[in-house]
């Protein structure tokens, strides 16, 4: 067993080194970044730096790390320790989506196409609705890459965000994750509130106010959902018209019995717009994150830069040639999709697999070299 493990490890290291013999995608400003590498875990060694892309490439080929990460921050002395010595110059704004919003599905433990596609859609929503929409970043300031495993990373690199501290970054991450504060406010109708004369005449003592048609941000998201929910509600005729007119000016309490419609609208707005982000990645300026275009040591897939509209990691992020066949001995039964094909393996039954599939199983500890 030990011999098998050693053989498998040697093989994987040799192939990772082969992959890096073609590596030519250094990040911007290599000399100002801190790097971290892992062979047994994601980061075994950090505080590394390289004067130029050439030295980085040589290191990757020579050491063949299973994981390569780099700092979202730029430093004067990237290998300085402790952190204060590095001389912080600014940092990209990074986002990590690896827990997609997905309902019940047949989850595959080896690699799950449904989860990957849901993560891609969430990343696309983050890009279009938030980064380009609400936050107003420019397209050329944003890059997206597959994480190499379960999700996607998005990076914003612009002068506007480089100096942002953790507080500001947290605000951005939380904004895309949840509507903080109350969207609808219930308050007493004050005696001099003439504009709510109608409500008072009806005997209403409380006022429910919220975002109207001119609202922005999360208010706009709720307002849009409220309009949809109201139009789809069983409310009819004049009552519906009155509710809609009042909704436009932010009065949610004009028509009795509409409370459930607003509750539904709020729930729909959250379900549709609140993304699940790993906020720590966004707010931590000292963070190391997967280096795009490097291998993920848990899958053998590339953390590939991508167009989120059309990317399929199961065919577009392969690091090894499909035509090379590798004989592996599975440690357990497995069935999974890769390269547009379905593979099934039985525990203990040696099988020839295309190298990307063989590497996936070996890196997941589900097989060894036969």
Residues that bind another protein (CB under 8 A): 82-84, 88, 133-137, 160-161, 163-168, 170-172, 174-175, 180-181, 215-220, 280, 283-286
Question: Whole-angstrom Cα distance, residue 223 to residue 218?
Answer: 9
User: What is the length of the chain?
Assistant: 370
Smallest gap, in angstroms, from Cβ of residue 297 to another protein?
A: 17
How far apart are CB 134 and another protein at their closest, in Å?
5
How open is the CA angle 312-129-167, to the nearest 5 degrees?
105
Q: Which is nearer to another protein, 170 or 240 (CB)?
A: 170
Nearest to 314, CA basis, from 294, 342, 276:
342
Residue pair 105/287 in contact by the 8 Å Cβ criterion: no
Distance in Å, CB of 86 to another protein, minimum: 9
* Strand spans (E) along 255-360: 288-290, 325-330, 334-338, 341-345, 351-354
CA torsion sign, 220 to 173 to 170 to 76?
negative
- DSSP letters spanning 116-127: HHHHHHHHHHII
Whichever of 283 and 338 has its CB closer to another protein, that residue is 283
Specify the residue, 11 or 88, whose C-beta has the smaller distance to another protein.
Answer: 88
Q: Nearest Cα to 97, choosing from 270, 313, 282?
A: 282
Q: What is the H or E stretch that residue 3 is in?
A: helix 2-20
| Residue 115: CB minimum distance to another protein, A | 22
Q: Cβ of residue 333: shortest distance to another protein, in angstroms?
A: 31
Q: Distances from the Cα of 83 to the Cαs of 44, 79, 279, 285, in angstroms?
A: 17, 9, 21, 11
* CB-based contacts of 12, cutoff 8 Å, min separation 6: 66, 359, 362, 363
On whether the CB atoms of residues 49 and 35 are closer than 8 A, the answer is: yes
Residue whose CB is less far from another protein, 23 or 137: 137
* CB of 195 vs another protein, minimal distance in Å: 18
Closest to another protein by CB, 56 vs 93, is: 93
Q: How far is the CB of 178 from another protein (least distance, A)?
A: 10
Nearer to another protein, 134 or 322 (CB): 134
Nearer residue to another protein within complex by CB, 82 or 203:
82
């Amino acid at each position: 067993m030990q011999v098998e493990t050693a053989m498998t490890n040697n093989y994987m290291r040799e192939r990772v080194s082969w992959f890096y013999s073609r590596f030519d995608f250094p990040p911007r400003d290599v000399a100002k970044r801190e790097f971290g590498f892992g062979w047994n875990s994601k980061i075994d060694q950090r505080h590394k730096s390289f004067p130029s892309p050439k030295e980085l490439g040589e290191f990757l080929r020579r050491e063949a790390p299973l994981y390569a990460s780099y700092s979202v921050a730029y430093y004067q002395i990237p290998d300085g320790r402790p952190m204060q010595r590095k001389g912080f110059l600014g940092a990209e704004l990074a986002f990590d989506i690896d827990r997609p919003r997905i309902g019940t599905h047949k989850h595959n433990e080896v690699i799950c196409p449904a989860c990957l596609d849901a993560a891609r859609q969430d990343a696309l929503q983050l890009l279009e609705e938030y980064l380009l929409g609400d936050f107003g970043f420019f397209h050329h300031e944003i890059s997206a890459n597959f994480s190499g495993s379960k999700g996607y990373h998005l990076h914003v690199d612009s002068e506007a965000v480089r100096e942002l501290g953790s507080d500001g970054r947290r605000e951005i991450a939380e904004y895309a994750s949840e509507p903080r504060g109350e969207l609808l406010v219930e308050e007493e109708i004050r005696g001099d509130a003439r504009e709510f004369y109608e409500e008072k005449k009806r005997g209403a003592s409380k006022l429910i106010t919220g975002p109207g048609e001119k609202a922005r941000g999360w208010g706009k998201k709720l307002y849009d959902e409220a309009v949809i929910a109201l139009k789809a509600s069983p409310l009819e005729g004049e009552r519906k018209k009155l509710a809609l007119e009042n909704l436009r000016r932010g009065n949610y309490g004009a028509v009795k019995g509409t409370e459930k419609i607003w509750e539904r609208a709020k729930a729909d707005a959250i379900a549709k717009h609140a993304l699940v982000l790993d906020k720590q990645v966004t707010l931590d300026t000292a963070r190391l994150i997967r280096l795009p275009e490097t291998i993920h040591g848990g899958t053998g897939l590339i953390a590939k830069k991508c167009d989120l509209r059309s990317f399929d990691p199961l065919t577009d992020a392969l690091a090894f040639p499909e035509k090379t066949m590798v004989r592996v001995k599975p440690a357990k039964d497995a069935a999974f999709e890769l390269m547009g094909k379905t593979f099934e393996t039985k525990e203990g039954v040696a099988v020839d697999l295309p190298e990307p599939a063989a590497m996936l199983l070996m890196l997941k500890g589900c097989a060894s070299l036969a």
